[in-house]
Structure 1
Amino acid sequence: MKIHAEELLTFLAVAEAEGVGRGARMLQRSQPAVSERLRALQLSLGEPLYQRSGRGIKLTAAGESLLPYARRLRESLEEVESWSARRQNLQEGSLRIAATNTVANYFLMEHLARFRSAYPSIQLQLKTGPLPDALSLGSWDLLFTEEQIAADHLPQHMEQEAWREDELVAILPRDHPWVQEGRQSARWEEILQQPIVWREAHSGIRRRVEAAIAHAGLCARYSVEVTGVEALRDAVAAGLGIGFASVEALDKVRWPLASLRLEPPRGLFWTLFLIRPQRDFQSRAVRVFLQLLFSH
């Protein structure tokens, strides 16, 4: 028969109190309930653990032999309770985040810095670059994407939501003739007559711009391709062509570049998405980070 932890802890309390009644008071249980647990434990073991002796009890050889195991069980449970308390108080734990380079560099770092300052004992792991494939999405606590992931590619315990919206603009050198003319926007027909500096193929900004050009019934031209935000900035600044970037990213850095609005007058926007565990599957660290994220 299966032995239950509560039965062993009941036996330990009675043994240390040297009496069923005293053990029951220590456990804040009724004496009949304690006696029933002791009876079930002895039935599972197949031999008596104690004998009555006056107003108390005396352990049998089996009871004496079982006692150190029961004490180790209590110690292990106390360690688990201590571990749980540390995690609940965010004194221990981890937070694993995957995000595309643009989202990580320009949308997440300030939030991670605030979280780290408030909870320095939580281990942070941030993966940047292309997102993991569908099979390993569930290995991360939170994922931030530049495009929506197909619902059938998400692990069953995770959900997706639109996190924030941002405008995309054309970026170009400050000495470009359009900037000298004081222009504030440019149409796709004009943009496509210029050399263009494209981000790498998996860039969400690139795909959003390509989709907008296709929606306008035009064909994108490919002249220069670079990898990463910094390479894009340097290539545009050097005069290799016009690039595309996020308004919020430009607000956070001091690039020697100018910007023009796309698809005037409404502008070209993109949506960033957050993939997170459903509420019942969120760790304490995840819940607190999300509260911090959405409070700003």
Structure 2
Amino acid sequence: MRIHAEELLTFLAVAEAGGVGAGAQILRRSQPAVSERLRALQAAVGEPLYQRAGRGIRLTAAGESLLPYARRLREGLGEVENWSARRHALQEGSLRIAASNTVANYFLMEHLARFRGRYPGVQLQLRTGPLTDNLPLSAWDLLFTEEQIERSGLPPHMELEAWREDELVAILPQDHPWVRAGRGWVRWEEVLAEPIVWREPYSGIRRRVEAAIVRAGLRARYSVEVTGVEALRDAVAAGLGIGFASVEALDKVRWPLASLRLDPPHGLFWTLYLMRPQADFQSRAVRAFLDLLATPD
């Protein structure tokens, strides 16, 4: 027969209290309920665990042999309770985040630093880089992406939402003739007449710009291609061509470059997306980080 933890803990309380009635008081259970658990435990063991001795009890040899196991069970449950309390207080736990390079570098780092300051016991794991098709989405608690993911491509317990919107602009050296002329925007036809420094093909910014050029009925020119944000900055600063970046990123890094709006008069905007667990599947660490994202600095 199966032995249940409640039966062992009941036996331990009665054994240490020296009687069924005293054990029932410690457990805050009725004496009949305690006696029923003891009978079930003895039936599962197959032999008596105690004998009545006056108003108390005396353990049999089997009861004495079982006692250390019951104490280890109580210690183990105490450790589990302490573990649960630490997680409740976010003194331990984990948070696994995947994000594209642009999102990680210019939109997430300050939030991660705030989270680390508040909850230093939570282990952070951040994966940056291209979010390729073979990325196991279910292996991450949160995913920040520049692309919308179809519902059929999401794990069943996950949902996707628009997280924030930002503007994309052309970046160019400060001594460029357009900058010296005091211009604030530039048309696609003018951009495409200039050399362009493109990010790598899987860059979300590049895909947005390419799509906008197609919508304008034009054709992109490919003259220079670099990998990474820093390489883009250095290439544009060196005069290799015009690049593209997000306004919020430029505000944070303070590059020695100028920027002009694209696609006047409306500008070119992009949406960043957040994949997160549905509410019932969110860990405490995930909920805390989402609350932090929604709270101004």
- Return the TM-score normalized by structure 1: 0.98
In the TM superposition, residue 141 of structure 1 has moved relative to its aligned partner by 1.2
CA RMSD for the aligned pairs? Answer: 1.1
Partner of 1:56: 56
Task: Tell me the residue number matched to 2:272.
Answer: 272
Which residue number in structure 2 is paired with residue 211 of structure 1? 211
Aligned residue identity for 1:267: G
Cα distance in structure 2, aligned partners of 1:150 and 1:245: 26
CA shift, 1:250, in A, is: 0.5
1:181 maps to 181
- Which runs of 5 or more residues in structure 1 are unaligned? none
After superposition, the C-alpha distances for 1:107-144 in whole angstroms (9 at most, x for unaligned) are 01111111111111111111111125456111111111
Residue 4 in 1 paired to residue 11 in 2?
A: no
| Aligned match of 2:124 | 124
- Residues 69-110 of structure 1: per-residue CA shift (max 9 Å, x gap): 100000000000001111111111111111111111110111
Give runs of aligned pairs for residues 33-48 of structure 1, distance below 5 A.
33-48=33-48
Q: Provide the rounded CA distance (Å) in 2 between the counterparts of 1:157 and 1:134.
A: 19
Please give the residue correspondences for 1:106-185 in structure 2 after superposition, counting only pairs within 5 Å: 106-131=106-131, 133=133, 136-185=136-185
Which residue pairs with 2:103 in the alignment? 103
Distance in structure 2 (CA, Å) of the matches to 1:54 and 1:205: 84
Deviation of residue 243 (structure 1)? 0.5
Residues 14-47 of structure 1 deviation map (CA, whole Å, 9 limit, x = unaligned) = 1111101000000001111111111111112222
Aligned to 1:191, the other structure's residue is in SS state helix
Q: Which residue of 2 aligns with 1:238?
A: 238
Supply the distance in 2 between the matched residues of 1:284 and 1:134 (Cα, whole angstroms). Answer: 28
CA distance in 1: counterparts of 2:133 and 2:282, whole angstroms: 21
Distance 1:171 1:135 in 2: 31
Amino acid at match of 1:72: R
* Deviations 1:139-184, CA, capped at 9 Å, x for gaps: 1111111111222221111111110000000111111111111111
Provide, for residues 261-282 of structure 1, a one-character-per-residue CA deviation record: whole Å limited to 9, x for no partner. 1111111000001111111111
Residue 189 of structure 1 aligns with an amino acid whose one-letter code is: E
CA distance in 1, matches of 2:259, 2:213: 18
User: Counterparts of 2:69 and 2:279 in 1: how far apart (Å)?
Assistant: 38
Equivalent residue letter for 1:192: L
In structure 1, C-alpha distance between the alignment counterparts of 2:231 and 2:185, rounded to whole Å: 24
Structure 1: distance between partners of 2:5 and 2:151: 42
Letter in 2 for 1:6: E
Q: Distance in 1 between matches of 2:185 and 2:133?
A: 37
CA gap 1:19/1:159 in 2 versus in 1, 3 angstroms: same
Q: How many residues align?
A: 296
Q: Runs of 4 or more off by more than 6 Å in structure 1?
A: none
Q: Give the equivalent residue in structure 2 for 1:196.
A: 196
- Which amino acid is 2:87 matched to? R
Q: Is the 8 A contact 1:134 1:154 kept in 2?
A: no
What percent of counterpart residues are identical?
A: 81
Deviation at 1:188, TM superposition (A): 1.0
TM-score by length of 2: 0.97
**Distance in 1, Cα, partners of 2:21 & 2:132:** 59
Aligned-partner SS, 2:292:
helix
Q: State the alpha-carbon separation in 1 of the partners of residues 20 and 220 from structure 2.
A: 84
What residue is the counterpart of 2:89 in the other structure?
89
